Structure 1
Amino acid sequence: MSAEQQGNYALLMPPVNDSYDLYWNGVLVGHQGNGPPNPHWFYNPLPQSFTVPSSREDTIAIRVWKSPPLFVDSGTLGGLHGAPLLGDPDTISAQEAEQNSESIHQVLYEYTLLILYGMVSIFSLLLWGREHKIRVFLWLALFTATTVALAVLQGLFSLPISYGLGRGLNQPIYALNHVSLWLLLLWLLRLNGKRRLVRCTRILAICTLSVALLDGFLAPFWGTAGDWMQTIDAILTSLMLAVQVYPILIILMGIRQRLDSAHWAVAISAFISQIINIIADMSAAGQRFTHWTLFERIINTPLFVIHGIAFWASNVIEIVLFVSILYAVYRFDTERQTRQSLLEREMQSAREIQGLLIPEAMPSLEGYAVTSAYRPALEVGGDFFQIMRRKNGSTIVALGDVSGKGLRAAMTVSLIVGILRSLSDASYSPAQILQVLNRCLYGRLQNGFVTAVILQLHHNGTVTIANAGHLPPFLNEKELATEGSLPLGLSPALTYEESSVHLQQRDQLSIYTDGLLEARNTTRELYGFDRLHTLFATQPTAQQVTEAAIAFGQNDDITVLTFTRLAQGEEATTSVTASFAESSVESLIELP
């Protein structure tokens, strides 16, 4: 082929670190990036073809600019990755297509793996969105998503990403990838319950991400980097390399646990993967000074080749780690769902028990209008109350609050109600009832406690009160001063004092649990005593009180009882409202 016949040549330039200007017979015909004084180059250099005019004698000149070396640069970077190819446009176009085809073939399995990573990331994020408390899904989503992001940034799809953007994003994403793996290992190796280890991991994660962000911040200015910026890069890179040892410590602590085969697979594959990462990063760091060849001989040498696709040690162990993590997460979620199903059955049983313990109907009290309302914040709450008539005509009223929520609180409530009912026909005073309860509960609450108030109502309006660390009753809009004492279950030798009050006609005595006082609105403001005084001044029913608290923002179980002294001859009434979460057992019963 003669130049005269062809008219123009095509020149295929290989990837070049970092930017270049291409001259043909002394004339600038193309470039990739820019050199100083305003340097601009790609994070991953790309091949590029140019059309050049033909003549009898042609001279090619290439001016290459290399950015200041990073701490992890080998010292051999810079310049052309191969020889330029010159020929007719059709031949060069075919050669370029063949190179692209070979590149795609070599990374085909990586494309497939990244698609799987992306699907797992999306699915894990959806699972975490449904159940925020199960953070293993969040860490898995971050680990897989950052793996995909790093592959994209580091040239898998040959995107023309500028160095400032690519390096600036790569560093924090690289750190986030490692941090998410640490947190994932904590969950999968059953170490998430070790508070000190979790706290140390969080602190180290914050420090690592901060260092990575600072290192990435240098990237847009790296084209003009001097000695001081290179020194900072060396320090920041060294810090990021040092934390590579931390997951090894997590794994060593994890293997001390009783692990099954799935978790052993995670521990072993993560350990090998981390060792490879440490060797790769440590041998790459400063190798232009040390001239270590460990990276090239071990890490950057394929283990084997199948149909032209090379498999490196890091690729193989990455696949093994990914599969073992997926299997361990699957086992974790399966076991969690099994435990949750068992817990739901237990909670249903506890809810049914508590439904029997909270009165749905009460005896009428001569001379009084009684209203009650019970609204648990969870499926099974820790509030309780009982109203028991005695043979002498008086009535014992007990109201209290068990610390904690859920099944344990419900079991404690059932114990308390059983004790109260066993004492209903005895001649115990309110203070003596509290003493019996305290002795029975001591040592059974697992560092918990119970607050309670006991009333004894008489036909003539006299009310005897004993209080065990509970909120004082309200008489109309004023709090009653009662003899205070410690809650139940803290000490076996506690004694309780009594006080008395006489209710006049239309006086209302109200007792309640702290869920009423501690209701919070959307701005986290407490309902508080001021609103409580205003509310009770209107002599509301128990239902009206609970509705006001719920409208404000319920945050805890709410139980309210009101006793209004009636005029002589006026008919006694009793109103009960009880709600049991999902079953929503609500009843309003009027008894003569």
Structure 2
Amino acid sequence: MRYRVAISALFVLIATSLAGQQPAEKPAAKTVPTLVVRGVGRGVVPLDGSWQFHLGDNSRWATASFDDSNWEQIEVDAPWGAQNHPSYAGFAWYRRHLEVQPTSGATQDYRLLISHAEDAYEVYWNGVLIGSYGKLPPHPSWYYAEFPRSFPLTGSAYGVLAIRVWKAPLESFSSEYSGGLYAAPLVGDPDTITLKEKATYWSYVREDLFDYSLILLRCFVALLCVMLWTRNRREHLFIWVAVLTATPVALEMLQRLFLIPFSYGVARFLNQPLYAVYHISLWFLLVWLLRLNDNRTLVRWTRILAGCMLIAGFLDGALAYFWGSAGLWMQLADGFLTTFLMLVEIFPFVLIGAGFRRRLDASRWVVAISATLLRTIDTVADASALGQRFTHWSLFSDIIDTPLFVIQGVAFRAEKVASIALFLSILFAVYRYALERQVRQNALEQEMQSAREIQQVLIPETLPSLVGYAVTSAYQPAQEVGGDFFQILSNPDGSTLIALGDVSGKGLKAAMNVSMIVGVLRALSDVSSSPKEILGGLNRCLCGRMQGGFTTALILRLGADCDPAGSVTIANAGHLPPFLNYKELMLEGSLPLGLAAFASYDEITLRLHPGDYLSLYTDGLLEARSANGELYGFERMHRLLAAHPTAQQATEAAVAFGQEDDITVLTLTRLAAGEESSTSLVAPFLTPQAVTR
């Protein structure tokens, strides 16, 4: 019995051992399904569903014979970043086994349409390259905006479609959910694919129809503002409005607005500085509209930050030319520059806060409020999008980038609505500003007209004839009204007073001071004929009445008509000395009028002989300046006066050289006995020809 049990156990053991030595059954090999594309010829067919997908790069992956059964599968209606490969940049391959079954009687030519893929790619059909979009490394080139592209699918109706995709290094604002195909490729006959491609382009245009109309308005406003600025270069408001309205047009052109395929390097290089200029123009526009240009500290910081932002924009744009091979240091540089630009963008809040402290009209309040709203949206959007692949904030995509409403297929997002509101409010504020300027200009022109009328009275249209002298005079103000003056006054005793002077400053203020001086001068001449006493009286009247200004003056007293000796008495108050024949007269130095109430003045007496030439002039003749900045100077003036020119000739020489200040010249030539005296006066508000007697 024991032997039977032992033998049975031995047989069982041997059977078990033999069974363990038999080869195990192999698992069935994986098979990659083939997508049968039916109905080609009646329309387009999407190549949707699961594709074979693999990260990395290998030229063998383009061939039809390559076994991709162990690759992962991925959908093509979403980027690979949203399908288990977040923040991946570099090469990846898509493969799909296809069998195209056209409809009866349809053409055997097919085309493939890829609507959106990041960033550059190549398309292979059965191992043969049939087209590409952009250029892949080692010398990559890709586009700033994505456009559809179609490729011929010729040869066999059965095979493997392989797409080699390259995603550029990620930027600071790049989403982790990016890279690769965004929509399923389409297959169809050439005509239908062409129609589909055009329909895709039309959908882009339709989405931007509102932007096209807004661009026309922006261009019109920019051109109008440039024209207004060229009329008055001091009106900086208009040039900043022109820049603010023109830069968005340039920025949108770099995007997809006009369907121009700008390369990434060129577009990014232009985009970043333009983006900086757009914000800078808004800053300076706020400074002018919110009446902050009198705050020197704020204006200085605006200029400093504008320069820094412009430099940062150029540097950030320059990185784009090398972004195809961007490493860690370039991405860090991009992150630093982008963060700086975003921080500086907060500066408008400082300007708006300062503007709220001012007493502004309704139009400027609307600008401040709309600018605050836009900057808040942009700041929140930039903060949520910056480094979003690390923070995983979805505020930008969930709220900021979500349309508020859609009209006829045009999506209106919060940023677009706020920018339109700011643009319209700026137009309204500029319109109000232009009206205010026009009112002020009309008032100023009325004041200038009054000043011109006064000055026409003060500069006599005719001069009295001086027996024994030939007199010429010329007056040329630098502006519509000037600060030079001269008078020739006859005294009851037969003597004649000649006064010539120059009030500090130009324009309306100087002209008003001239009117006061001439009035006092005429009153004093009735009391005294002494040049030094008249200067003393003028000085006492002017002290404390010229708002910190002063006046230089010369007064000459010519002897009575019956004085055959030609005596001339001269007193000087800080004015340039007269020129007698070939040299300057030596006069005692003295203070100008209006500086010290008790200043005293000396006088000298000389005799003019027949043929003697005496010229009086203001510093506008001496200080004429050429286009290259060279002064007319004493040497040229001495050579000019030594030639004994008329007052008009001397004035014309200085104006031709380059007038900067009011110019007045008066010449006296002593005549011989029996010669007929004459006078000549040239002034801009008189007749074009010299007035001569």
| Superposition TM-score, scaled by structure 2 size | 0.81
Q: 2:461 aligns with which of 333, 341, 360?
A: 360
Return the offset for 1:8.
2.7
Which of residues 357, 374, 387 is equivalent to 1:273? 374
| Map of 1:316 onto structure 2 | 417
d(CA) in 2 for partners of 1:470 and 1:289? Answer: 76
Which residue of the partner structure matches residue 507 of structure 1? 612
State whether residues 464 and 498 of structure 1, in contact with CA within 8 Å, keep that contact through their aligned partners in structure 2. Answer: yes
1:543 matched to 2:644: no
Residue 599 of structure 2: aligned partner: 494
| CA distance in 2: counterparts of 1:442 and 1:540, whole angstroms | 36
Shift of 1:584: 5.2
Partner of 2:136: 35
Q: Which residue of 2 aligns with 1:348?
A: 449
Deviation at 1:33, TM superposition (A): 0.8
Alpha-carbon separation, structure 1, partners of 2:604 and 2:367: 65
Match of 2:244 among 119, 143, 167: 143
Aligned to 1:559: 664
1:576 aligns with 2:681: yes
CA distance in 2, matches of 1:199, 1:63: 53
Q: Which amino acid aligns with 1:566?
A: L
User: How much has 1:40 moved relative to structure 2?
Assistant: 0.6
2:322 aligns with 221
Give the number of the structure whose alpha-carbon radius of gyration is greater.
2
Partner of 2:124: 23
Name the CA distance, whole Å, in 2 between partners of 1:165 and 1:414: 63
User: Within 2, Cα distance between the matches of 1:91 and 1:269?
Assistant: 47
Assess, with a 3 A threshold, how the Cα gap between structure 1 residues 469 and 15 changes in structure 2: closer, same or farther: farther
Q: Distance in 1 between matches of 2:137 and 2:203?
A: 34
1:59 corresponds in structure 2 to: 160
**C-alpha displacement of 1:586:** 4.9
One-letter amino acid matched to 1:411: M
Per-residue CA deviation, residues 278-324 of structure 1 (Å, 9 max, x unaligned), is 11222222222222222112211111223332210001111111111
Q: What is the alpha-carbon distance in structure 1 between the residues aligned to residue 191 and residue 470 of structure 2? A: 100
What SS does structure 2 have at the residue aligned with 1:126? helix
RMSD: 2.0
**Bigger Cα displacement from structure 2, 11-20 vs 129-138:** 129-138
- Counterpart amino acid of 1:324? S
Q: CA deviation at 1:559?
A: 0.6
Code of the residue aligned with 1:158 in structure 2: it is L
> Would you say the 8 A contact 2:531–2:569 is kept in 1?
yes
Q: CA 1:27–1:264 in 2, change beyond 3 Å: closer, same or farther?
A: same
CA distance in 1 between counterparts of 2:537 and 2:497 reads 15
Quote how far apart the aligned CAs of 1:558 are: 1.1
User: Which residue type is aligned with residue 448 of structure 2?
Assistant: M
Q: What SS does the corresponding residue of 1:423 show, helix, strand or coil? A: helix
Counterpart check, 1:530 vs 2:666: no
Give 2:501's aligned amino acid: G
| Distance across 2 between alignment mates of 1:301 and 1:454 | 81
Q: CA deviation at 1:569?
A: 4.4
> For the residues of structure 1 that align with 2:350 and 2:539, how far apart are their CA atoms?
47
Name the counterpart of 2:431.
330
Question: Residues 71-90 of structure 1 correspond to what in structure 2 (within 5 A)?
Answer: 71-90=172-191
Structure 1 unaligned spans of 5+:
none
* 3-state SS of 2:314 partner: helix
Contact 2:528–2:534 at 8 Å: present in 1 too? Answer: no
CA distance in 1, matches of 2:642, 2:382: 73
Task: Compute the displacement of 1:103 (Å).
Answer: 2.6
Distance between the aligned counterparts of 1:383 and 1:472, measured in 2?
A: 16
Q: Which has the higher contact order (CA 8 A, sep 6+)?
A: 1
| Distance 1:494-1:271 versus aligned 2 partners, 3 A rule | farther
Post-superposition offset of 1:418: 0.3
* In structure 2, C-alpha distance between the alignment counterparts of 1:493 and 1:283, rounded to whole Å: 74
Percent identical pairs in the alignment equals 57
Tell me how many residue pairs correspond in the alignment: 588
Asked whether the 8 Å contact 2:205–2:257 carries over to 1, the reply is no
Task: Choose from 374, 379, 388 the match for 2:489.
Answer: 388
| 1:447-499 alpha-carbon deviations (Å, 9 max, x no partner) | 32222122222243333322222211111121122122232223333333333
Question: What's the CA shift string for 1:122-147, capped at 9, x where partnerless?
Answer: 22222222332222221111111111
Letter in 1 for 2:504: S
| Partner SS state of residue 138, structure 1 | helix
Offset at residue 222 of structure 1 (A): 1.3
- In structure 2, distance between residues paired with 1:368 and 1:308: 89
The answer for unaligned runs of 5 or more in structure 2 is 1-38, 40-100
AA paired with 2:680?
A: S
Equivalent position of 1:169 in the other structure: 270
Contact between 1:389 and 1:424, CA under 8 Å: does it hold in 2? no
Q: 1:461 to 1:158 in 2, by over 3 A?
A: same
Residues 236 and 491 of structure 1, relative CA distance in 2, 3 Å threshold: farther
Residue 267 of structure 1, CA deviation: 0.9
Q: What is the CA deviation profile of residues 381-430 of structure 1, one whole-angstrom value per residue up to 9, with x for unaligned ones?
A: 11100111223333221111112222222111111110000011212532
Question: Counterpart of 1:298?
Answer: 399
Tell me the secondary structure at the aligned position of residue 42 of structure 1: coil
How far apart, CA to CA, are the structure 2 residues paired with 1:164 and 1:562? Answer: 70
Which stretch of the first structure deviates more once superposed, 90-99 or 434-443? 90-99
Maintained 8 Å contact 1:73/1:286: yes
Shift of 1:163: 0.7
Distance in 1 of aligned mates of 2:347 and 2:595: 43
- Of 325, 329, 332 in structure 2, the residue corresponding to residue 231 of structure 1 is 332
Corresponding residue number in structure 1 for 2:229: 128
What's the counterpart of residue 588 of structure 1? 691
Shift of the 389–303 alpha-carbon distance from structure 1 to 2, 3 Å rule, reads same
Q: Which stretch has the larger CA shift, 91-100 or 275-284? A: 91-100
Letter in 1 for 2:596: S
Residues 283 and 435 (structure 1), Cα distance of their counterparts in 2 relative to 1, 3 Å cut: farther
The one of 525, 530, 540 equivalent to 1:424 is 525
Give, in whole Å, the separation in 1 of the partners of 2:145 and 2:313. Answer: 20
| One-letter code aligned to 1:571 | E
Pairwise CA distance, 1:202: 2.3
